[in-house]
Structures are given as structure tokens and as C-alpha cells.
Amino acid sequence: MTPILATQNVRLSYGEKEALHGIDLNFDEHSITALIGPSGCGKSTYLRCLNRMNDLIADTTVTGSFQFHEQDIYAPTTNLVELRKQIGMVFQQPNPFPFSLYENVTYGLKLAGHNDKRFLDEQVERALRQAAIWEEVKDDLHKNAFLFSGGQQQRICIARLLAVQPDIILLDEPTSALDPISSAQIEETLLTLKNDYTIIIVTHNLQQASRVADRTAFMLNGDLVEVDSTSQLFTQPAHQQTSDYLNGKFG
Amino acid sequence: MKNIFSEELKKLFSDFTDMGTAVSGQIAQATQSYIDHDKAAAQSLVTHDQSINGNEVDLEKQALTLMTLQQPVADDFRAVVSILKASADLERIGDHATSIASETIRVKGSHRNQSVEVKIASLSQQIRDMLTTALTAFNANDATQAEKIAKQDQSVDDQFDEIRNTVTVAMQQDPEVAAAGASYLLVTKLLERIGDRIVNLAEELVYNQTGEIIELNQSRIRPDGD
């Protein structure tokens, strides 16, 4: 299978200091990949390279190859708005906009020039259904997004992303601010979403990685130690460092 | 936090070794009482088996608690799972030894065959050597011994066949030997099954070290396999 996203020899430096030392990772379409590793290992930094979020940080240099659908993510001609529509990101803290749920979910579509009410209504329902939150919020579409629970806000953010129909969803510790029940709901949502989307998730919750991910990549000190099917990595990792990390012996 | 796990795991292995040593003693005592027709020794062994079963339950509880509370993965997970499975095998070995003791209590008839009894004693010793190899390898996490144990088990199977033939011939020649002969066959079969269980230990040893699930037990594919 040709990967939907292929990265090779990814290096990132903040000024003189290199934080990623040449990462090779590929992502298959409609799969979930988890990136794990101790704090500071570079997993979030790597994730943010994938839709050029690191461009916003001064004095950052990124090199390496990033092929997305045969397109070079770092080509000078890349349209960043378009790129981030195709490769969207969900953050650790739910960050709804301070308006109604409906306006949150339609925000990207309106930016893209869609104003037909019926179309927008359909897209809101589709996105909220895909984010597995429609039944809970369908009667409160015009309520301020801040008034929902943390878990619901996070799924609203996922729905906001889904409304613009991305190919890849990046999630940076999406459940670390949530209670176990909300986390479980997000995990179930991810398992449904992978039928239509490619998902890459950074998580500190190893059980979460083992529950949802098809493949897991273990990073340490800016290097990729190993990547394998999740069941292989959690039962027979190739490196002792991986086993030690999984068992909490460092990190 | 994980130091607690390491300590608990060490204790689990140590308790497992103690249980293995006790089970090895059971095999020795059971075979000796059988050969000596020592019903009192056999009875004491049957009574003692309850404590082996208790050991197995304790080990199982320890392993399950470790898995639930510490949630080990990768090699730590494999270590706990292999002990969990191996302790069940030790418990069954203990049960087979008890069955030999029960046979000692039950057996009647004074017609005996010295040469068969010598062979049974030798088979029993060989099986205990296999068990010692397995327990030592478990402690050293040395899966290289697994093949050796499997080979020893083939020799046990061959001896089982040999004793069966000897007993069958003896029974044909002298019907008076029939009662003892049936008993010899049962006891030899029990010893042979103990050998198979020890091969299971070797398989669990391989899983512990490499994560591979393998089948070393040749008798599994034999029609009379356990």
C-alpha cells in the first residue's frame, strides 16, 4: 500500500539545537498511528511538522522529505490554509471558538465561501454524527460551545475539523485534559473515524495507544527508536529501551 | 513505582521455584512409595497435595494482582504470564504425582516384576532431572534449554513405549501379573504425562524470553498424546 503521507530524514532545529535527528515514518491511509515517548522526545514537534505548525515558531529549521499525496508539504508553493484543511489538528485543551456550536462547526465552511443554509445544516449534522456527539447536542446547536463539558468540547473541535473534510487528523494528546469516560468516548470516535480518515495521535496514555492504534512509534531524545504494529510493539518490542519505557522504567 | 514491580516479580519467581522444588519432591516420594508398596508414605503425599494446590492458587493471585495493578507490557508482561501458565502446569504435575500415590494405596496383588520397577524408578529420576533443568532455566531466563528438555521428553516417550511392551509381554506370559501390569501401565503413563507438562514449562520459558508461542510437545501429534 502506498502511504498517504511519507516522511524521510526529518530534522528540526531550534537555532543551533537539533530536536529531531532524522525521522523516517510513513502513514497508511485509514489507519491510526500513535506516537509515544517521554516528554521532550520530539513527538509533538514531529507531529506539528506534518501541517507546518512549527512555521509559527521563530528560528526553526525543518529539513527532510514530506510527501503527502505526492505533494511536498514544504514546497514554497504550498498553500498553508489548504494544507491545514487537509491535515487538521486537534489540541490537548479543547479550544472551541467563543460562539455557538453551530458557528464553530460551520466556521471553516463559511471561510471557504459556503453560505447555503441547507448545505451548512447537512454538514453540521454529518460532522457531529461522525464525531459521535450528534445525539447529545442536536437540540443545543445554538448554545455557546463553552457551555458544553470538556469531553463534548473536544468532540465539537473534532467535528469542526471534520466539517472541512480533511484527509489526515493530527491529535496532540487529545484526552489528557479529559476524565476516563470522556476519553473513552473520544477513543471510540477515533476508531469509527479511521474508516474515513487517517489519524496520527500523540499520547502519553500508553493504554490508549494500545487500545486504538494500528501502529505505534516510539521516540526517544529526538530519534525514532522503533515503529511496528501496536500488538507487536507492546508484546515483543525490538529494543530494550522500548520495553523499559512501556513499563515505566524511565520517562 | 516500578521497583515495587521488580520486587514483586522476583518474589513471584522465587515462590514459583519453591513450588517446583516441592513438586519434584512429590514425584520422588510418589514413585518411591509405589515401588516400596509403602501405603503410609503414599497417604501422607495425597494429604500434602492440598498444600501444592494452595501454592498454585497463591501464585495465580500474585500474578493476577501484578497484572491488574502494575499493568506490565512487553517483557514484564511475558514474565508474569509465563509464570501464570507454568504454575498451572506445576499444579497438574503435582496432581499426577498424587495419582501415582493413590495407585500405591489401591494396588493389590503380590506378583511383581522387578525389572519393570527398576525402569519406572529410572524414568521417574529422568523426569525429575528434566524438571530441575526447566526450573533452573526459568530462574536464569535461559530459553536455550527448551530444546534440550524437548529431546529429553522424546527419550521419556521411548521409555514409556518400551515399558509398555515389556509389561504386555509379561502379562501374556503370566496372567497372574495382570493386576500389577495394569498398574505399571497406569503409573508409567502418568510419568509420561508429567514429561509432557515439563515440555509445556519449556514452551513457557521460550515465550517468556522471546514472545514466540511454540509447540515442542511431540506427543501432541501422537494419537495417544495427553
Give the model confidence (pLDDT) of B110-164 as tens digits: 678 888 999 999 999 999 999 999 999 999 999 999 999 999 999 999 999 999 9
Mutation for B interface: A235, A239, A244, most B CBs within 10 A? A235
Encode A147-172: b = buried (16+ Cβ within 10 Å), e = exposed: ebeebbbbbbbbbbbbbbbbbbbbbb
Provide mean pLDDT across the span A207-235.
Answer: 96
Q: Can you give the CATH number for the domain in which A89 is found? A: 3.40.50.300
Kindly report the pTM of this predicted structure: 0.82
Structure confidence at residue A147 (pLDDT): 96
**Would you call A230 an interface residue with chain B, using a CB distance cutoff of 8 Å?**
no
Bridging pattern class, strands A215-220 and A32-36: parallel
How far is B89 from chain A, CA to nearest CA, in Å?
23
pLDDT band at A251 (very low <50, low <70, confident <90, very high): low
- State the ipTM, two decimals: 0.71
Structure confidence at residue B189 (pLDDT): 97
Structure confidence at residue B9 (pLDDT): 93
Chain B nearest-CA residue for A230: B74
In a domain, B225, yes or no: no
Q: Can you give the CATH number for the domain in which B153 is found? A: 1.20.58.220
In a domain, B135, yes or no: yes
How far is A228 from chain B, CA to nearest CA, in Å?
13
**Would you call A9 an interface residue with chain B, using a CB distance cutoff of 8 Å?**
no
Alpha carbon of B70 to those of A225, A231, B65, B207: distances in Å? 24, 19, 8, 20
The DSSP result for A178-225, as a single string, is S-HHHHHHHHHHHHHHTTTSEEEEE-S-HHHHHHH-SEEEEEETTEEE
Provide mean pLDDT across the span B47-61.
Answer: 89
Structure confidence at residue B113 (pLDDT): 87
In a domain, A80, yes or no: yes
Cα dihedral A168→A173→A176→A180 (10° resolution) = 40
Using a CB-CB cut-off of 8 Å, the residues of chain B touching A246 are: 73-74
Residue A201, strand partner residues:
A34, A171
pLDDT band at B226 (very low <50, low <70, confident <90, very high): very low
Chain B nearest-CA residue for A210: B73
Measured from the Cβ of residue A95, the count of other Cβ atoms closer than 10 Å reads 13
The total number of structural domains that make up chain B: 1
How far is A176 from chain B, CA to nearest CA, in Å?
19
Q: Flag whether pLDDT at B50 surpasses 90.
A: no
In a domain, A124, yes or no: no
In a domain, A100, yes or no: no
Domain coverage including residue B212: 1-220
Provide mean pLDDT across the span B54-69.
Answer: 91
The total number of structural domains that make up chain A: 1
pLDDT tens track for B78-88: 999 999 999 99
In a domain, B226, yes or no: no
pLDDT higher at A47 or B107: A47
In a domain, A82, yes or no: yes
